[in-house]
Structure 1
């Protein structure tokens, strides 16, 4: 019998990146997507870009890079774009992490982090969150060894929504050795309570990389476009690792239009924050101690009830994201979905 090729052990042993079931779901609140489609100007840009879909996009997304440079007030030589910030992070790790290198990250944090680290051949070193479900930055500093190559900080953190303030980040960056890359993942920055801007730190910390995305506040999750801002040396290595044509012409056009839609962005953010406040108040009134969220989701620390409650919500047409024995994450935006969540919780606890 002919044997098939065997994958690398790192691939064979990887956990599966899972997603919530959505069959029969009326309200999908499990993936942190925007609940409304892009504004008309963005849809128009998508339509016009589609007329050139038979042509390759620019190899490095230069028009988008220039638009982002103007938007952020930085040199275009600091920006690299890719098919979502997750893809940009993947290629950053491929550029810098070698077999045996360590990557320090908080846990629980974004579940894709350890998967990407292992794909790059590195070893994830997880540091538990604090009792407040925040990044324990002093403990992360203690986890640094001579094998540490990268540190990942998700701010606001997915899935707990907790934030690290500017002073704490600066103290942390001051203490990290300059040869260790710090990745500040700001996928949810637009919704944050603290006005932390990682890009403003770049001149002081050449080992810093800031990740951002158009998948959340800008509502372009289906087009997959994100970017990194860093020093020129790191950006050059990252650009070399990224595949050519990493961002489609349609995604690039949509992103360029989206950064000009400041009024629409403000409306999306403010409506999400109002809904966040409403949901937080509802569960606080029910005696649940939930962390303040700086994202477009809330974290309910339900412990052993997490999976059971998630399954119960599905019977009510609502999908949420469960993390076994820890909690559930609920994406904000739809008032009816919020009311369905609260009603389901009341029913679940009554039963």
Structure 2
């Protein structure tokens, strides 16, 4: 990039002395917020926890913004208000934006707006959902214009009066794009963006994953690239569909392509009912679980509905409830120190309040891979209020054992719905087939809102053939466990400062140490080797921007994953060392750094 471009980057150690000096000039000498220091430097106790983003042009530093993440355990605002006085400070996904400061001669430029935008993008990329800031009262109109809102608290520091402000990351981002989108797009072309997240979010605002297909070519003109790409960023099966599936797809594909399928997928429904020993009237099918999620939630929920999601959780649930429908969404925190398991007592206490219309449990969970025993979930549901509906997502249940399904309960209990994708467990992701189980009245309602021909004929043929060969898939799921264990062991030999967490599904996670490279850095470096991993940072602030998810592939591709990670870590963190591996079923307490 040319030296004339405005550069946005993380602060380097060399930047810190300038930051302390500029902070002193502005907040001590110019504004009188702090007493002058003979050394001409202004520091505070949070400097070790803060993240600084810097704007520069060539060698000239222009301005900076300071961010305090929730994992620091404290905020600057706590010097003025206790958490009892400002309960907002107790939220686990709250990021504090502090001391946006620009050199005097650059204050009329785009530096300040770009630093504000960079802060918002950095927070979103770490799973932040709310920001808090102290804004000088004389600049209140500027803060209101970007979407921040007063919480009704004013604080004084030296000669300066501040208004405490807050805003939702999603709403602030939407407002910025709606109101200043043209300006941002113009600035994008003249900014040397050196931060580890994209300049702008995806158009729909959801982190769906699947960047590997971009490398293959979404226009399908370079499909030969698939031979070179390791797509470990999506959780597609590493194994092929059953022989019967391949035979069904190969037998007269021209007929399958041009022929309309059974209108209501009657044959597929009958085979699901047989394979799972369920009454056919309890079933509804869709073109993948996302189809069923959007259709069902759109029927049941409104902006007045209240939903409880586990955190971390499959990102599509937050997207559809918060951004598409606009529900009030609360998070039930899964804790790393508890091995990401559901604490039944805590969840029961949260749900028995009776305020939730819907509780979503992904089991086994994506992205943690942990499985909650069916008996525990049955007890939780039995004790829950009658008005609360439970949505149990069993997309990865085959890896834990189909006997753990709650489908039988869903077929009789009007409060429970089980959703099952055939994509991941049956190697049918490209064909899009899924079903849900609910008591007959609920299932009938969803079938009424299902368009005709909801699942393509090739997908119906494939799904029926897959369900008829359980032995093949049981063997594949067992081999997946062995491949996952070997992948974890191999990754464990790379760097002792990194934590590998194994669970029960077809993936594992790798967490980098604090103070080192971010997950985004590792992901980007591995892409140089055509290996695609998933940065989990946007899903939850609990990952602190340091965790990647890696799908299990076959032996050869797993070896490429290990080699790419080794090369990336050599570049990002030079020096020899061995990864801490956490096997399936063992809590990660105290192991993540």
Task: Please show how residues 1-351 of structure 1 align to structure 2 within 5 Å.
Answer: 15-22=205-212, 23=215, 26-46=229-249, 47-48=251-252, 50-118=254-322, 119-131=324-336, 132-144=339-351, 147-192=355-400, 195-202=403-410, 205-284=413-492, 287=496, 288-302=498-512, 305-324=518-537, 325-350=545-570, 351=574
Greater CA drift, 135-144 or 165-174: 135-144
The two structures have a TM-score, normalised by structure 2, of 0.54
Alpha-carbon contact 2:421-2:435 (below 8 Å) kept: yes
Alpha-carbon contact 2:312-2:334 (below 8 Å) kept: yes
2-structure distance, mates of 1:50, 1:101: 46
Alpha-carbon contact 1:102-1:122 (below 8 Å) kept: yes
Root mean square deviation of aligned Cα: 2.5
1-structure distance, mates of 2:344, 2:445: 27
| Structure 2 alignment gaps of length 5 or more | 1-170, 176-203, 216-224, 538-544, 575-593
SS in structure 2 of the partner of residue 80 of structure 1: strand
| Shift in alpha-carbon separation, 1:222–1:298, aligned structure 2, 3 A | same
The two structures have a TM-score, normalised by structure 1, of 0.88
| Shift in alpha-carbon separation, 1:307–1:194, aligned structure 2, 3 A | farther
| Structure 1 alignment gaps of length 5 or more | 1-8
Greater CA drift, 216-225 or 232-241: 232-241
Alpha-carbon contact 1:50-1:250 (below 8 Å) kept: no
Structure 1 or 2: more strand by fraction: 2
- Count of aligned residue pairs for this structure pair: 342
Alpha-carbon contact 2:234-2:534 (below 8 Å) kept: yes
Give the CA deviation at 1:43. 2.3
1-structure distance, mates of 2:368, 2:402: 15
- Greater RCO between the two (CA within 8 Å, min separation 6)? 1
